[in-house]
Structure 1
Amino acid sequence: MPKFFIEHPVFAWVVAILISLAGVISILNLGIESYPTIAPPQVTVTANFPGASADTAEKAVTQVIEQQLTGIDHLLYFNSSSAANGRVTITLTFETGTDADIAQVQVQNKVSLATPRLPSEVTQQGVVVAKANAGFLMVAALRSDNPSINRDALNDIVGSRVLEQISRVPGVGSTNQFGAEYAMNIWLNPEKLQGYNLSATQVLTAVRNQNVQFAAGSVGADPTPEGISFTATVSAEGRFSSPEQFENIILRTDNNGATVRLKDVARVTVGPSNYGFDTQYNGKPTGAFGIQLLPGANALNVSEAVGAKLDELQPTFPQGVTWFAPYESTTFVRISIEEVIHTLVEAIVLVFLVMLLFLQNFRATVIPTLVIPVALLGTFFGMYMIGFTINQLTLFAMVLAIGIVVDDAIVVIENVERIMSEEHLEPKAATQKAMTQITGAVVAITVVLAAVFIPSSLQPGASGAIYKQFALTIAMSMGFSAFLALSFTPALCAAFLKSTHSTKKNWVYRTFDKYYDKLAHRYVGVVGHTLKRSPPWMIAFVALVVLCGFLFTRMPGSFLPEEDQGFAVAIVQLPPGATKIRTNEAFAQMRAVLEKQPAVEGMLQIAGFSFLGSGENVGMGFIRLKPWEERDVTAEQLIQQLNGAFYGIKGAQIFVVNLPTVQGLGQFGGFDMWLQDRSGAGQEALINARNIVLGKAAEKQDALVGVRPNGLENSPQLQLHVDRVQAQSMGLDVSDIYSSIQLMLAPVYVNDYFAEGRIKRVNMRADDQFRAGPESLRDFFTPSATATGADGQPAMIPLSNVVKAEWNYASPALNRYNGYSAVNIVGNPAPGGSSGQAMSAMEDIVNNDLPPGFGFDWSGMSYQEIIAGNAATLLLALSVVVVFLCLAALYESWSIPVAVLLVVPIGVLGAITFSMLRGLPNDLYFKIGMITVIGLAAKNAILIVEFAVEQRAAGKTLREATLEAAHLRFRPILMTSFAFILGVLPLAISTGAGANSRHSIGTGVIGGMVFATVLGVIFIPLFFVVVRRMLGDKLDEQSKEYLAVQNDGGTHRPDR
């Protein structure tokens, strides 16, 4: 193939241009995202059991459904929550790559088996099975500089004009409003109801009967008598639209003609339908809502579409109302992608400078520089063909590929330049001769690198998805690199290089050559020394291998590095029973702290909602940091500072945490553990065990920080007990009693009304002062079915006569994990530690400090870290084995692969050493870097061993062949290695968004290549000699194969 393209350079250019065009078109059509679909798909099952406690809901609904969740394909784990309001949520998590639609159908089939055993109150409302959405894509909010538009008005604009429009944007999974649109609120006065001898149920019935939409029909419609020549639709007064109309609803008409209207026993207002939330940004009211991404949707595209829709809606808002995004996850995505692209450009420049320094020929340097964009564009085309996106993983692969892609071209050019210089051939003839010498090496290098990466793409799970994106991108770039090295590069060498070079060199080149010649001379001397005294050097090698294994076992483990995403999340929890007013007071103290932090831009506070659950005593703050270049602290450093400062806020527990690196793998960064009651000891014993774990974790400050339960603490609840005998004797039905209580204490949905072009809700409940405490029961009355008053009307019986109230503490929600009662515990590693160390410390506590019957499981990113760690050793071993087999097949020899692969531990030792010196853990990026180092270390060995084998076949002794190969291959090895190291250097020293991931992969790869180059070039010749001597070769004799060839007249095939 090289000969054809040398003879047809225009054809080579045409092929390169076509590859480039295909790549450009592919880039325009490729999606852009931070990570590909890594998070495992989830399916949720939701049900409601009105009026049930958490315990009742768990026993009657949750466990009934869970018992059927068996035999579901690719199910990893499931967890459930049974809330005190009767709501049940079961979340099932599946293996990464599972078809979410098929998973949903399978879960639906299993739930249908449990439906006949569920209470009728549950089945009447339906059990919903749906694909779960990931975390918040963004939180958008409305704010106003118009004093007449308050928080409630902003929330009404969101609910009535914005949410439905945003929900229709392609890719939006769901929207969650932290507030409510307006409703018609009827505030009952129980005292007046009793005075008029009316019950809340009677009021409810009257409103429903009179606020109704009728279809009146039409006149003159067929069939009609003859002579009717027109028809018309009849309209009747429909639903009410103003408080005045509701106030005039007639509740009762007495015999004397007097009427009782709604305004006589209640007040009617237009206001929020729900008062559970309060949102502010930097202390100013907002109307906020969260947007969740549809599974599989592209975050950047959806974010842009949402922004465009909000811009479209902006002119419809009242004057002074504008929208903004206090939290947007795609900001980090965009900037981190830009940072990697900058790194890509820096890598190309650095690689060019290294090649220019070594080749000392601008024309020769331009050739591999031209190959880089062609190979990368070809890789983009390959990515498009197999359905990849432009993301951090594929771009990391591109950065590493720059240093690898030029390797093949450098090997070709260096060999052509050497032949032109030594043999004084013309460029075309020199290129043809060079290609006959190195085609085998180019093919071997490509096969080895592909063999290293491709096995890693077969790993399942979230880590497998990461390996696959990286590995296949690298493998494709290697494929294009090899193709171009055998086609485009030789064509350019033959046409572009000059046969004579200027003998005058500038001082930079002269200085470089001076020191290089000294280094090369000393290098050959060291190699010669190692060949003479191989036993001590092999002992040293064994020591390095032992050290490598020792350090590897001491590396802290992790899954993915936590990133500075430009945001932090504050979780706020006050004592059980605390009101929203107290929660806002805690937020005010937090704002005072944040205002003194120069790195903080602002905070969106949401009182009444957090990832722990909903309630007036909880809240959450999205802390927005200033752009990376405008602050001198990272998110992790700031989080530590804020946790210390917020610790002084009395009456509130406040934890500031980082966001998860990958959306959908947990709610926070850090670890995610479920403590399980596996012996049925009960909820109290489980809580006691949890407290032991939290106490012991607090003592391990060297490994753990911020360990806390991820859920709401037991809160005071008013337990009502109906005296059924007493109620029966007074003519009261138990269901009527509970209905009366519900009508007074809970906002009961009545029906709808029409306002501002929309259908809105009508709600009813007792007025504020009648819901202040348990004594309110004496103000609630219900009519007796048997007793009558002095006026002959049914007697109104105070509910306090038949209902007794007592206070107790109960959990707002009961959780289960994989069928066991469980509590969720989350936390973070201590500063400087890794998630693997923190998880190990937690495992020790559960295993050693808890009584028998309790166990644990991991969830989210922690679960993925466990399965990724278990597969890592097998993955690395598989890569080495595949490389060995490929080399054996290429060289028809079992010994040459051994000589090549013995250098791998040296490269791995370098990766481990550099990462440990920098305090980096053994995470997925480090493992990817190790796989890269394995391939590149083997590549260096191939360059020497391949040439040594050729020299042996040409009749040289083992010593001569090895020293000659080491001498001739030293310069291209240094050139390609330094090109790669400097190409990756921008990753290792970068700052800003996504820097931790770039550090993790860049540091290990650089360390591995430094060791594989500095130590590897010394040991590789030694390995070749030792292996050949073990097979019977003598150091200073010609090979038996060469002698056999000579004796057979050149017909004997050497046995390598």
Structure 2
Amino acid sequence: MPSFFIDRPIFAWVVALFICLIGAIAIPLLPIAQYPIIAPPSISISTSYPGASPENLYNSVTRLIEEELNGASGILNFESTSDSLGQVEIIANFVPGTDTSAASVEVQNRIKRVEARLPRAVIQQGILIEEASSAVLQIITLNSTDGSLDEVGLGDFMIRNVLGEIRRIPGVGRATLYSTERSLRVWVDPAKLVGYGLTADDVNKAIAAQNAQVASGSIGAEPSTANQRTSSLVLVKGQLSSPDEFGAIILRANPDGSTVRLRDVARIEVGGLSYQFNTRLNGKPTAGLSVLLSPTGNALATASAVEEKMKELSRFFPANISYEIPYNITPVVEASIKKVLSTLVEAVVLVFVVMFLFLQNIRYTIIPTIVVPVALLGACTTLLLAGYSINMLSMFGMVLAVGILVDDAIVVVENVERIMAEEGLPPKEATRKAMSQITGAIIGITLVLMAVFVPMAFFPGSVGIIYRQFSVTMVAAIGFSAFLALSLTPALCATLLKPVAAGHGHARRGVFGWFNRMLEGGKEGYSRTVAFSIKRTGRLMLVYAALLVGLSWAFINLPGGFLPVDDQGFVTTDVQTPSDSSYPRTEAVIEKVEKYLAERPGVKDVTFLTGFSFSGQGMNTAQAFITLKDWSERGPKDSAAAIVADINRDLSSIRDAKISALQPPPIDNLGNSSGFSFRLQDRGQKGYTALMRAADQLITEANASPVLQKVYIEGLPEAGVVNLVIDREKAGAFGVTFEDINNTISTNLGSNYINDFPNRGRMQRVVVQADSRDRMKTEDILNYNVKNSRGQLVPFSSFATIEWARGPTQIAGFNYYPAVRISGEAKPGFTSGDAIAEMEKLAGRLPRGFGYEWTGQSLQEKLSGSQAPFLLGLSVFVVFLCLAALYESWTIPLAVLLTVPLGVTGAVIAAMLRGLPNDVYFTVGLITIIGLAAKDAILIIEFAKDLRKEGKPLLDATIEACRLRFRPILMTGLAFICGVLPMAIAHGAGGASQQSLGTVVMGGMIAVVILALLMVPVFFVSVQRVLAGDREKVAKAEAEAYGPPAPVRST
């Protein structure tokens, strides 16, 4: 193939331009994301049962739905929360690659089977099934510019004019209103009801009967009389539409003609449907809407579509309403990609400088440089065909590929230049001869490098998705690089290079002359060192064995991890006040937090969602989404990690409040923070009290551990609860049914959704509840009345008593077992892998009957840790098989692969020096080093093999091969090291990830350049000697491996 393109350089250019053209077309079509879709796809199931306790919810709703979810196709795990606000949420996670649309249909069908067993109130409220991620993409707020609208007015405007539009945007999985729409509120007065001999249930029935749609038909409808000339609809106003009309509802008509109307016993208004949630932006009340991605949505595209839609909608807003998007996770995506692009450009420039230093001719340097964009554009085409995106992982692959892409071209150019300088051949002939010498090496190197990365593409699960991005990018780029090295590069060498005089490099003066003399001196010194080493292979192999022992120890003791935590430009803060706190008490704490954050120079916006947190929902909870200023405006003191540490330290002094600031996890939807996610399960039916006792024991021991810190229950604590004890015998004696008791309690305290009413073009709910002053004290409950079977009012005090107790405000479940969600993190100096191991050790001390499972990022870390050794071993084995097949020899692959531990040693040392864990990036770095170490060994061994065919003795052939390959190995090694240097020293958005990967690869490559040059000849000679045993067997083994030596003619 090289000869074809040497004779047809224009053809080679056309092929390269076609690759560039198709790649240029592909780039705009590629979606852009921070990471590919790594987290398992999830489906959310939510419903409500107003007024129900967590225990009632869990037993009567959650457990029934969980029973149906068990065994669903592709389900990975499911997690549930049942809280004191009557809310149920179940998150079902599925294995990566599951079709969530099909899974959603199956879930709906399974829930349909259980609906008949669910309470009527739950069916009335509805069961919502959504395909959505758990990470908030954006928060949109509406603000009243003149203060004329309160939170209810803003929330109602948002649900009418914004919510539906946002939900219809492709990529949006869920849009949740953290405010409320309007509803017709009927605030009954229990005392007035008693005065009129009525109950709350009478109110419910009257509203249901008198506010109803009437299908009134028409006059003149068929069949009609023969002389009927007209037909008209009959309209009856059945549904009421204003507080006055509802106030006129008749509750009772008396014999004397008087009536008792709803307005006589209740205050009626158009108010808020719910008062559980509020939103605050920088200390001011507002209406908030959170936007969550669909499982297959692209964050950048969806966020951009939301922003465009809000600009469009705002043109129709009244003058007194404005909007903001104070929280948006996509700036980190854009900044990270731009940073990696900058790293890519820096890598190309540094590689160019290194090549120019060695080649000292702009023509020689331009040729390998041309290969880089062509190969990368070809890789972009492959990404598009594979259905991938431009993301951090594929971009990291391209940065790593830069140093590899120029290798093949450098080998070609350097060999052509050497032949022209040593033999005086013209460029075209020198190119032909050079390609005849190195084509086999290029093919061998390409096969080895591709073989290293191909196994990564076949690993399952979320971690497999990460590996696959690297694999496809690297294999595609390496494949195009090899093709160009055998086509475009020789064509360019034959046409662009000029003849050179022998010894031209040494004749140079200045910096290049000094460099050439130093390089030549180094080469001669290296040759002497090789000659000395291969005569003492036994001793050096003992040193190598000792190195392997030390490497094994260091590798085993290197702490584990999943992915590094980056500064993503935002943090979250969870606020909890005592479990029995009212909203005003919680609001006072929120204001203190807002004041503190307003004084932080690195904070841009603070959005508080009150009544909601990652721990649960309630009047004592709030969640702050803190947007930081741009990375360029913040120094180390205002990094995300520093701000989190300062918040946790400075706000810990606020009384009666638990405030926890957290950094987001590296991957969305793998938890709410960067720490671990542990689920303690009651597998032995020990009960809620025993489960909480075990959790307290585990958390106490964990926080006392030297490895762990900030270990806590991710949920709401127990609270004071009022037990209304019904004496059923007394109630029966009074003729009171338990159903009537339940209806009265749920209406007065929990609110009762009756039906709907039309309000300015939207059907909104009619809700009945006792007025606020009549549900503030426990005595109010005993004053409620219920009708008995004889129509008489019976007060609750006649058959009920009240007892105070402690009880759960929420009950969690995981994989059908009652569970406690526990979160925490490793102390400084320890990694997430250390934390996982320590938690498992402590959990092993718990009494029998308690189990545990990992979820989120921790689960993926466990899976990646178990896969990594197999992946590394598989890569090495595949390389061995490829080399054995290529060279028809078992000895050459063995000699090549003995160099791999040298590169791994450098990678491990670099990771230890910078305190990096054995995480996913470390594994990717090691796989890259396996290929690079094998590549350098092939360059030497391939030449030694060819020299042996020419009849040179083993030692002489080895020394000569090392001398000839010293310069290209040094050049390609330094080019690769300089190419990854920008990654190793990166900072800002995505800096931690770049440092993690860049450090490992750079450390490994430094070790390869230094140690492989010394040890490859030792390995080659040692393998031959060990397999042969004596000189006669050596000759025989060599003849079998390389063919008979060429005859030596006598002179």
TM-score of the two chains, using structure 1 as the length reference: 0.94
The answer to whether the Cα contact below 8 Å between 2:80 and 2:814 also exists between their aligned partners in 1 is: yes
What residue in structure 2 maps to residue 610 of structure 1? 613
Distance in 2, matches of 1:123 and 1:923, equals 47
Does 2:974 align with 1:971?
no
Which amino acid in the other structure matches residue 695 of structure 2? R
Distance in 2, matches of 1:644 and 1:50, equals 38
Does 2:665 align with 1:660?
yes
- CA 66–275 in structure 1, closer or farther in 2 if over 3 Å, else same: closer
Shift of 1:733: 2.1
What residue in structure 2 maps to residue 249 of structure 1? 249
Shift of 1:926: 0.8
Shift of 1:977: 1.0
What residue in structure 1 maps to residue 367 of structure 2? 367
What residue in structure 2 maps to residue 540 of structure 1? 543
Q: CA RMSD in A?
A: 2.6
Structural mapping, 1:825-864, within 5 Å: 825-848=822-845, 850-864=846-860
What residue in structure 2 maps to residue 300 of structure 1? 300
Shift of 1:296: 1.0
- CA 308–930 in structure 1, closer or farther in 2 if over 3 Å, else same: same
What residue in structure 1 maps to residue 440 of structure 2? 440
Distance in 2, matches of 1:379 and 1:410, equals 20
Distance in 1, matches of 2:987 and 2:287, equals 35
The answer to whether the Cα contact below 8 Å between 1:770 and 1:779 also exists between their aligned partners in 2 is: no
Does 2:816 align with 1:812?
no
Distance in 2, matches of 1:148 and 1:115, equals 44
Distance in 1, matches of 2:950 and 2:2, equals 23
What residue in structure 1 maps to residue 794 of structure 2? 797
- CA 945–169 in structure 1, closer or farther in 2 if over 3 Å, else same: same
| Cα deviation digits, residues 798-840 of structure 1 (max 9, x gap) | 2222222222211123223334332111011112421111111
- CA 211–682 in structure 1, closer or farther in 2 if over 3 Å, else same: closer
1:594 is aligned, of 581, 593, 597, to: 597
The answer to whether the Cα contact below 8 Å between 1:20 and 1:374 also exists between their aligned partners in 2 is: yes
Structural mapping, 1:695-844, within 5 Å: 695-700=700-705, 702-786=706-790, 794-844=791-841
Distance in 1, matches of 2:315 and 2:292, equals 25
The answer to whether the Cα contact below 8 Å between 1:134 and 1:295 also exists between their aligned partners in 2 is: no
Does 2:936 align with 1:951?
no
Distance in 1, matches of 2:1033 and 2:685, equals 77
What residue in structure 1 maps to residue 276 of structure 2? 276
What residue in structure 1 maps to residue 929 of structure 2? 933
The answer to whether the Cα contact below 8 Å between 1:958 and 1:1036 also exists between their aligned partners in 2 is: no
Does 2:328 align with 1:331?
no
Distance in 2, matches of 1:910 and 1:749, equals 68
| Cα deviation digits, residues 870-929 of structure 1 (max 9, x gap) | 111111011101101100110110000111111100100111111111111111011001
Distance in 1, matches of 2:571 and 2:987, equals 18
Does 2:1025 align with 1:1002?
no
Shift of 1:720: 1.6
Which amino acid in the other structure matches residue 291 of structure 2? I
The answer to whether the Cα contact below 8 Å between 1:959 and 1:1035 also exists between their aligned partners in 2 is: no
- CA 748–414 in structure 1, closer or farther in 2 if over 3 Å, else same: same
Which amino acid in the other structure matches residue 858 of structure 2? S
The answer to whether the Cα contact below 8 Å between 1:957 and 1:1036 also exists between their aligned partners in 2 is: no
Does 2:893 align with 1:889?
no
**Helix, strand or coil for the counterpart of 1:1015?**
helix
The answer to whether the Cα contact below 8 Å between 1:958 and 1:1034 also exists between their aligned partners in 2 is: no
The answer to whether the Cα contact below 8 Å between 2:1039 and 2:1045 also exists between their aligned partners in 1 is: no
What residue in structure 2 maps to residue 28 of structure 1? 28
The answer to whether the Cα contact below 8 Å between 2:72 and 2:107 also exists between their aligned partners in 1 is: yes
Distance in 1, matches of 2:149 and 2:824, equals 41
Distance in 1, matches of 2:432 and 2:617, equals 75
**Helix, strand or coil for the counterpart of 1:279?**
strand
Shift of 1:273: 1.1
| Cα deviation digits, residues 526-570 of structure 1 (max 9, x gap) | 222211222222222122212211111111111111121111111
| Cα deviation digits, residues 440-487 of structure 1 (max 9, x gap) | 000000000011111122211111111011112101111111111101
Structural mapping, 1:95-244, within 5 Å: 95-104=95-104, 131-219=131-219, 231-237=231-237, 239-244=239-244
The answer to whether the Cα contact below 8 Å between 1:953 and 1:1041 also exists between their aligned partners in 2 is: no
- CA 25–411 in structure 1, closer or farther in 2 if over 3 Å, else same: same
Aligned-residue sequence identity (percent) comes to: 44
| Cα deviation digits, residues 159-209 of structure 1 (max 9, x gap) | 221111111111211111111011121211112222222222222233333
The answer to whether the Cα contact below 8 Å between 2:572 and 2:664 also exists between their aligned partners in 1 is: yes
What residue in structure 2 maps to residue 790 of structure 1? none
Which amino acid in the other structure matches residue 997 of structure 1? S
Distance in 2, matches of 1:534 and 1:272, equals 85
Which amino acid in the other structure matches residue 449 of structure 1? L
Extract unaligned runs of 5+ from structure 1.
Answer: 787-793
The answer to whether the Cα contact below 8 Å between 1:445 and 1:939 also exists between their aligned partners in 2 is: yes
| Cα deviation digits, residues 589-640 of structure 1 (max 9, x gap) | 1122223322112211111101111100111111111111111132122211
What residue in structure 2 maps to residue 396 of structure 1? 396
Distance in 2, matches of 1:112 and 1:283, equals 44
The answer to whether the Cα contact below 8 Å between 1:367 and 1:493 also exists between their aligned partners in 2 is: yes
The answer to whether the Cα contact below 8 Å between 2:33 and 2:390 also exists between their aligned partners in 1 is: yes
The answer to whether the Cα contact below 8 Å between 1:141 and 1:324 also exists between their aligned partners in 2 is: yes
Shift of 1:46: 5.2
Extract unaligned runs of 5+ from structure 2.
Answer: none
**Helix, strand or coil for the counterpart of 1:477?**
helix
- CA 414–558 in structure 1, closer or farther in 2 if over 3 Å, else same: same
The answer to whether the Cα contact below 8 Å between 1:955 and 1:1038 also exists between their aligned partners in 2 is: no
Shift of 1:774: 1.0
Which amino acid in the other structure matches residue 677 of structure 1? D
The answer to whether the Cα contact below 8 Å between 1:405 and 1:477 also exists between their aligned partners in 2 is: yes
Which amino acid in the other structure matches residue 966 of structure 1? C
Which amino acid in the other structure matches residue 531 of structure 2? G
Distance in 1, matches of 2:371 and 2:649, equals 53
The answer to whether the Cα contact below 8 Å between 1:158 and 1:287 also exists between their aligned partners in 2 is: yes
User: Which has the higher mean CA deviation after the structures are superposed, 166-175 or 530-539?
Assistant: 530-539
2:518 is aligned, of 515, 519, 522, to: 515
**Helix, strand or coil for the counterpart of 2:498?**
coil
Distance in 1, matches of 2:130 and 2:1047, equals 72
User: Which has the higher mean CA deviation after the structures are superposed, 952-961 or 227-236?
Assistant: 227-236
- CA 363–1049 in structure 1, closer or farther in 2 if over 3 Å, else same: closer
Distance in 1, matches of 2:1018 and 2:281, equals 67
TM-score of the two chains, using structure 2 as the length reference: 0.95
What residue in structure 1 maps to residue 528 of structure 2? 525
The answer to whether the Cα contact below 8 Å between 1:708 and 1:825 also exists between their aligned partners in 2 is: yes
User: Which has the higher mean CA deviation after the structures are superposed, 172-181 or 220-229?
Assistant: 220-229
Shift of 1:726: 2.3
**Helix, strand or coil for the counterpart of 2:966?**
helix
Shift of 1:756: 2.7
**Helix, strand or coil for the counterpart of 1:183?**
strand
Distance in 2, matches of 1:607 and 1:1030, equals 74
Distance in 1, matches of 2:808 and 2:1040, equals 86
**Helix, strand or coil for the counterpart of 2:788?**
strand
User: Which has the higher mean CA deviation after the structures are superposed, 809-818 or 623-632?
Assistant: 809-818
Does 2:915 align with 1:919?
yes
Distance in 1, matches of 2:234 and 2:843, equals 74
User: Which has the higher mean CA deviation after the structures are superposed, 683-692 or 588-597?
Assistant: 588-597
**Helix, strand or coil for the counterpart of 1:290?**
strand
Which amino acid in the other structure matches residue 178 of structure 2? F
Distance in 2, matches of 1:106 and 1:248, equals 47
Which amino acid in the other structure matches residue 14 of structure 1? V
User: Which has the higher mean CA deviation after the structures are superposed, 101-110 or 397-406?
Assistant: 101-110
User: Which has the higher mean CA deviation after the structures are superposed, 503-512 or 307-316?
Assistant: 503-512
- CA 1033–186 in structure 1, closer or farther in 2 if over 3 Å, else same: same
**Helix, strand or coil for the counterpart of 2:973?**
helix
Distance in 2, matches of 1:488 and 1:937, equals 26
Which amino acid in the other structure matches residue 854 of structure 2? W
Count how many residue pairs are aligned between Structure 1 and Structure 2.
1043
Structural mapping, 1:25-64, within 5 Å: 25-44=25-44, 53-63=53-63
